[in-house]
Amino acid sequence: MKGPRAVTALRIARLVLWGAVFLSVAGLGLLLWQHRGTPLSGLIEPSYGDIGGPFELTDEDGRRFASSALAGKPFAIFFGFTQCPEVCPTSMLEMANVMNDLGDMARDFRVYFVSVDPERDTPDLLKAYTDSFDPRIIGLTGTPEEIAAVARAYRAHYRKVPTAAGYTMDHTASIYLMSRAARLTSVISYGENHGVAVEKLRRLILAP
C-alpha cells in the first residue's frame, strides 16, 4: 500500500512533468501541433498571428486550385488522408453536420481537405471520399513539396508512420477556420462540443 509520502512524491513528479511539457510547448509556439486526434485547448478566438498563407494545389477534379480564388470568402482547411481510420472521417462528418445545422447560412461555405498522403490520395479518390460527407468539402492534393509548403504555412504537422500493413499518417487534427482576409480566427478541435463548433462557424461566416 502506498503511504502519504509516496503519494505526495508522485503528485510532485506529475506536476514537474506537466510543467516541463507546458513550457516546452509554449516556448516553441506549437499551438496547433496535434497527433492522431489529441484535442487542442478549449481557447476560442485566440491570436494565431500569421498562420496561413497563399498556396496552389490540385483539386479533386484534377484542376489547379489557387488560394487567391478564396479572396473575400471565409473557409475552413483540414490536413488529413483518406485512409485515416478515425480522426479524418469523424472530423469531416462533424463538419458536414455543423454546416447542415447552419442551413442556408453555410450554403456557399467550403471546407478544403488537404491530403498529407499524396502518394495514395489521387484526385478521384479524394473526390469520392469528400463527397461521401458533403459536396461542400473539397479535396486538394499536390506534389510532396507543395503539400509540405502549405503545411508549413499553417503550422500543420504530419509524418509517415510505418505499420505492419504498410504505413499510416500522423497529422494535426484541428480544422482551421479562416476569415475573409485569409487569417486564422479559430479552430474546431477534434472532439469539440458540437454546439461550440456551430457557434464558431456561425461567427466566422457572419464576420465582415
Looking at 81-157, list the stretches that DSSP marks H as alpha helix, in order from N- to C-terminal side: 87-101, 123-131, 144-153
| pLDDT over 80 (residue 20) | no
Angle at 136 between CA 201 and CA 208, to 5 degrees: 40
Q: How far is CA 207 from the centre of its chain?
A: 21
Of 23-32, 45-54, 70-79, 152-161, the poorest mean pLDDT is in 23-32
| Paired strand residues for 166 | 163
pLDDT at 50: 82
What mean pLDDT value characterizes the chain? 83
CB 140 within 8 A of CB 76: no
Please state which CATH number belongs to domain 56-206.
3.40.30.10
CB 78 within 8 A of CB 94: no
Domain limits, the chain: 1-30, 56-206
Residue 157 CA to residue 167 CA, distance in Å, equals 16
User: How many Cβ atoms sit within 10 Å of the Cβ of residue 70?
Assistant: 18
Binned at pLDDT 50, 70 and 90, residue 48 comes out as low
CB 105 within 8 A of CB 95: no
Of 48-52, 73-77, 202-206, the poorest mean pLDDT is in 48-52
| pLDDT over 80 (residue 159) | yes
